[in-house]
Structure 1
Amino acid sequence: MNDAMLTVATALAQIRAGVEDFGGRPINGTLVLDNNIEFLPRGLVATAIEAKNCTKLRYLPKDLHAGRLDLSGCTGLTSIPEGLHCFELDLRGTSIEHLPLVHVQNRLNLSNNIHLKSLPRNLKVGSLVLRGCSALESLPEGIDVNFLDLTDCVNFRRWPSTGRISVGRIVARNCINMPNLPNWLGELAQLSVRGCSSLTELPAGLVVHSWLDLGNTEISCLPADSQVSQLRWNGVPIDERIAFQPETISVSEIIDEVNVERRRVLLERKGYEEFFAQAEAKELDRDRDTGGVRRLLQMPMPNDEDLVCLAVQCPSTDRRYVLRVPPTMQSCHQAAAWIAGFDNPDDYKLLKET
């Protein structure tokens, strides 16, 4: 062992003693910090540093060097030094608002940074994870990544005019305000825009070698020059007819489908209201509420639980709705109570009467 190296035990003892400068002496091993640590000394060099849930940690030294740096749960950390170099950086659940330009070779994880508002121009990293960054509205110009995860970035709206995302995967699930995808996308292995309810079209020339998940989007067709190996709807493989022509799905096709997950997708695409309008369903119960007649309908499903739905009418709009309920429901009132969140139907009745 190099005499200049510090053991993990020695390094921890010096940090606890308040040593302010390690002078660049490398630490031989993974440094796991105490949760009550308030600062890191200057000249700190380590193969890996784990500072999980160090909520009192407020800043990092500018000359910090670590191959793998885990700062997840450091809620008191509002910034990191510009130019930080590491192989892997975990900043999940910190309080960073504006990320400076950092040099992360492999994976940068910023999940659940609810205050994060901006990323630096020309950010380059192998894998960028932004799950749950609910304040983030855009990505920076010149972004260069292979894998991008924007899951639950509910306020994300704008792609940069230039960038590179190719070879790997984009997961943009539940980006409900994302109106489009950039035209400069390269070839991808997988693409998920599941739950992107504002997305109505895909960019021309899109190439996805493995699968494209477009569940619960408003996309009505694939671009003519696109190349997509497999379509999925909420994780279930489908074809273009199911995706873009749900009106062609028949009741018998749904009932005869042996794959339970695919059958549920067929039902979702056709819609419960249209399904029961065409199916010969059994009426379990009928009553009236302020909207008019309510009906509890049942349809047996092979190799699956019975499909039971409550058909109701909105008193203010006169629109009819067919809402799925558990197959154990026996009455319209019980089903309506369950929809309203009541386990005991009597509680729902008392609430309505008061």
Structure 2
Amino acid sequence: MTPDNMQAPVLRDPAASRAQPWRTAGWLLLPLVVLVGILALLLIAKPLERLTEGAPPVELASIERVRLTPGLISLSVRADGSQPVSVAQVQVDAAFRSFTIDPPGPIGRLGSARIDIPYPWVAGEGHTIVLLSSSGVPFEKVIEVATATPVWDGPTLVMLAIVGVLLGIAPVATGLLAFPAMGTLGANGIRFVLALTVGLLAYLFFDTLSEGFEQAGKALARLRGPAVVLVTMLVTAGALTMIGRRHGRAPEGVALATFIAFGIGLHNLGEGLAVGGAIAAGEAALATFLVIGFTIHNVSEGFAIAAPLVGRKPRFPTFLGLAVLAGLPAVPGVWIGAQAISPFWIAICFGIGAGAILQVIVEVTSMIARRGGAAALLSPAVLVGIGVGLAVMYLTALFV
């Protein structure tokens, strides 16, 4: 006899069990079906058009890139608004000029086109370009100092590569020369160096993020540049954290130094873009000033890379590889920046760099906590190290 406190087994209908996945899928698809119906109503029936019949069409456009070749000004234009933008006239220095547009015709929403304007621009002088839409809306672009866009020939690439090496690899390698001195530190000294790394990287993180927001602000508002920078940052940090801990433990030693070098490398890619952009804009003095400032600034990045290696005996090829990983991205950065690419893509690059740096900050901080306990994060050595790192990066950034 079955005791009163025991329940008889529940028998499930096999047919009902087989139907359960289909029922679940149906409920999951139902919101999608309803959403499609709502969108069809808005796009086909167009109930809101009555409210905007008397309003003028909204036309927006952004001149994302300017390329100057002898006798020719080329613009890359991206459009937005409630209707396609038709470029009807082009003015250069207040005079109407002939032009060609590719692809021909109106520029659709978020579409892009290239506009070529035959014009004898003068090197070293400023020029003002105004695009007039068919409805008379002006879109202006000012060239502060006209200079030919660098071409992708051998000598130019070599020259720009040298600039990238002086900007990235050389200062990082210089900072790595301090590693032997770091090896003589005691426990508090090592903790200070790790905290110094956190301070250095924290400044780089905020600097990279602010650069990303600045570039995002130059793109069309419809592209949601600032939000894209934040999302890119979080996705990058999450992906790198997953890669770094794929074996179930946090990276240390050479592995952590490699992640630090990778994050700094992405940051140096952004610095290369800034220098290349100054070259493309014809601001040679500014480009030289940026290279000098970034070189001074990046020496401290070598300290950050070397910090996780304290107490270990890495070989010379390890240091060489870390210096190349951290500094070499500055070379393609200068190459790409010199071609005056869209600020939206530059903003994404900065977002990726910020995400990589954020992941490294979390890993280095967690390493301090593992070695000395959670209380170590509030120890004088750590707090002073973070403060010194922030101060060093700020003071060297004044040269930029």
* TM-score tier after normalising by the smaller chain length: under 0.3
> Which of the pair is proportionally richer in strand?
1
Provide the TM-score with structure 1 as the length reference: 0.21
> Which of the pair is proportionally richer in helix?
2
Provide the TM-score with structure 2 as the length reference: 0.20
Higher RCO by CA contacts (8 Å cutoff, separation 6 or greater):
2
